[in-house]
Amino acid sequence: MVKSLALHMLKWSQMVGRGWRNLSFLCFSEPSRARLQGTTDDPVSASVSFPFALRGGFVIAVHTHGRRRLHVTRSARTACAQCRQSAVKRDAQRRDERLLRVAFIISSSGDWIFRFALPVLVLQITGSAVSTALTYAIEFVPFVVIGLFSGVVADRADRRQLMIACDVVSAVIVAGIGVLCLIDPPVFLVMAAAFLLGCVRPFSFPAFQGFITERVAEERRASMNAWVQGADGTLGMLGPVAGVAVVTLLGPTAASFANAASFAVSALLIAATAAVAAGRRLRTSFAAACRSLGPDSAAALRMVVRERALLWATFLLTLANLTFPAAAANLVYIVAGPDGDVPASLAVVAAAQGLGVALGAAAAPLLLRRFSAGTLMGSAMAVKALALTLPAFQPGIGALTVCWFVVGTTTSTFIVPWRTYRQGAVDPQFLGRVVGLQRAIPFAAIPVSSLLGGWLVVEFGVTALFTAIAVIQFFVWLGTRFSPLGRSGSSRVEVAGPQVIPSPQPTSLPSRTGRN
């Protein structure tokens, strides 16, 4: 814990026989390193005096760092001001980082419970595997339709305000779904509400990713990304148990209201973060995004095409979304059957994925210190392909549990280095557009894979489904291994953040804080 304590005016010392003098100033802080302006032979622990061979009465500051290492600057007053500013900024960033983490945990907890409520509700109403898969797929349609637009808004808007607005709107929509559960609604109303909820998420995710670049120091981003992925995995491990318990004991209504409350608390926590600058109003940002959607989307596309690793990642993520999402969309039907009776084994399978995500996220930063990001991502895709073959040979709860666990682990060991690379490779002012583009295109495959997966399960069985997606995943591994994505730089470069791609930003484009 860095202490911001300055002990002022310790001693004026007169140079013996030289007529020079200096002010010894002890500052317990962590300022920037500065060039030594003199030498000393006998530093004193409590009162430090430095005889400097410089005329003019230079005022100096002595700073302690760690194990009694001393760094000296020329101006005590300037150094202390810099120390205080640096400490205040660092403390504010850490505080905002903690608030973001708590908001993420609370919001994701409600989401995990709700993920079981919605498909179970539809399955209980219709008894159809295709309708259940359609409910899963319909939430991803907005990512395709408005993904590019939402990325532009996330870049132009005050990201803090945008995240708060997304949480508030999500709370209202999910509470509305809870009300619908009370009146035994027709299935199209439930799907319409799910679609509206999906329209909010394309705005919140790029805003969250951009907010990380604003409020988390660059050297901590890999750790933050790993934490987010690990927290999501931990909640994925515990959430299914809570979700199945809530849905089974209390029904989808209670799960919906619990998720609405989590969104409301998340909005309050994000509102407690520091307002770094007076950002542009959301209404202005939406209007500006509408006017510049075409040019800004083209600029984001040029950035993706220019950086081959980003281009290949977009293509391979699209192909990968034809694999596991096809199985995940139909997991409730595979385990519960057409009658919709949810067994405890469903929670076991889903929790195994969460455990894998958490362990993979914890291991990813350590692996990045030893292996390049490309090697790590390629290996993850290879192991994932092997895992998807298990249920094809033995379509039982045991094989599904192992498969979901391995898929969760490999997902984290791919996502952590990938997001860290992207945050460093893309100009922060264009990060929302790039994230929106790279979600809109791959997510277009999820509705297709979900419906095809439901058709394969009903017509040909579980073995046919997992055989098909394992073959596709094999080609994803080949693409990752031999593409520029698999040849990404060393682990040290990736973690620190690669060279930033110059943004093709128009000179008239204002920043989200209102400054050019």
3-state SS, 269-322, equals HHHCCCCCCCCCCHHHHHHHHHHCHHHHHHHHHHHHHHCHHHHHHHHHHHHHCC
pLDDT per residue as tens digits for the range 226-244: 777 677 667 766 666 666 6
Largest CA distance in the chain: 99
63 pLDDT above the threshold of 50: no
**Token couple for 34:** 């500065």
Same domain for 68 and 145, yes or no, is: no
Q: Which distant-in-sequence residues (6+ apart) come within 8 Å of 357 by Cβ?
A: 229, 230, 232, 233, 234, 236, 237, 408, 409, 411, 412
State the amino acid at position 33 in one-letter form: R
Residues in the chain: 516
pLDDT band at 259 (very low <50, low <70, confident <90, very high): confident
Same domain for 37 and 98, yes or no, is: no
Domain stops at, among 13, 45, 74? 74
**Token couple for 265:** 């608390």
473 pLDDT above the threshold of 70: yes
Domain stops at, among 74, 97, 114? 74
73 pLDDT above the threshold of 60: no
Give the pLDDT score at 396: 79
Same domain for 175 and 62, yes or no, is: no
Same domain for 135 and 56, yes or no, is: no
472 pLDDT above the threshold of 70: yes
pLDDT band at 370 (very low <50, low <70, confident <90, very high): confident
Same domain for 47 and 186, yes or no, is: no
pLDDT band at 157 (very low <50, low <70, confident <90, very high): confident
458 pLDDT above the threshold of 70: yes
Q: Per-residue pLDDT averaged across 350-368, rounded?
A: 81
Determine, yes or no, domain membership for 503.
no
Determine, yes or no, domain membership for 90.
yes
Domain stops at, among 13, 44, 74? 74
Determine, yes or no, domain membership for 244.
yes
Nearest to 108 by CA among 276, 323, 265: 265
Task: Please state, for a pLDDT cut of 70, what percent of the chain lies above it.
Answer: 63
Give the pLDDT score at 90: 65
Same domain for 400 and 312, yes or no, is: yes
49 pLDDT above the threshold of 50: no
Residue scoring higher pLDDT (409 or 145) = 409
383 pLDDT above the threshold of 80: yes
User: How many domains is the chain built from?
Assistant: 2
pLDDT per residue as tens digits for the range 299-344: 777 777 777 778 888 888 889 888 888 888 778 777 766 665 656 6
Q: How many CA atoms does the CB half-sphere of 212 hold within 13 Å? A: 26
- Contact (Cβ atoms closer than 8 angstroms) between residue 454 and residue 137: no
Determine, yes or no, domain membership for 515.
no
Q: Domain span at residue 298?
A: 86-496
Give the C-alpha distances (Å, rounded to integers) separating 10 from 6, 30, 47, 77, 207.
10, 19, 6, 14, 48
**Token couple for 485:** 């994505």
Exposure string (b/e) for 246-275, b if CB count within 10 Å is 16 or more? Answer: bbbeebbbbbbbbbbebbbbbbebbbebee
Return the SS3 of 69: strand
Angle at 74 between CA 73 and CA 80, to 5 degrees: 65
Same domain for 319 and 415, yes or no, is: yes
pLDDT band at 127 (very low <50, low <70, confident <90, very high): confident
Same domain for 43 and 148, yes or no, is: no
pLDDT per residue as tens digits for the range 31-42: 333 333 444 444
Determine, yes or no, domain membership for 122.
yes
In terms of Cβ atoms closer than 10 Å to its own Cβ (0-12, 13-18, 19+), residue 39 is exposed
Determine, yes or no, domain membership for 506.
no
3-state per-residue secondary structure call for 109-159 = HHHHHHHHHHHHHHHHHHCCHHHHHHHHHHCCHHHHHHHHHHHHHHHHCCH
Nearest to 44 by CA among 4, 80, 10: 10
In terms of Cβ atoms closer than 10 Å to its own Cβ (0-12, 13-18, 19+), residue 13 is middle
Same domain for 157 and 61, yes or no, is: no
- Contact (Cβ atoms closer than 8 angstroms) between residue 421 and residue 221: no
Phi and psi, residue 304, nearest 5°? -65, -40
Determine, yes or no, domain membership for 511.
no
Q: Starting at the edge strand that comes first in sequence, how are the strands of the sheet with 69-73 ordered?
A: 5-14, 21-28, 61-65, 69-73
Q: What is the dihedral of CA 325, 144, 423, 154, to 10 degrees?
A: -140
Determine, yes or no, domain membership for 450.
yes
Give the span between the Cα atoms of 147 and 143, in whole angstroms: 5
Same domain for 36 and 149, yes or no, is: no
Same domain for 100 and 155, yes or no, is: yes
Residue 278 sits in a domain whose CATH number is 1.20.1250.20
pLDDT band at 182 (very low <50, low <70, confident <90, very high): confident
Same domain for 250 and 102, yes or no, is: yes
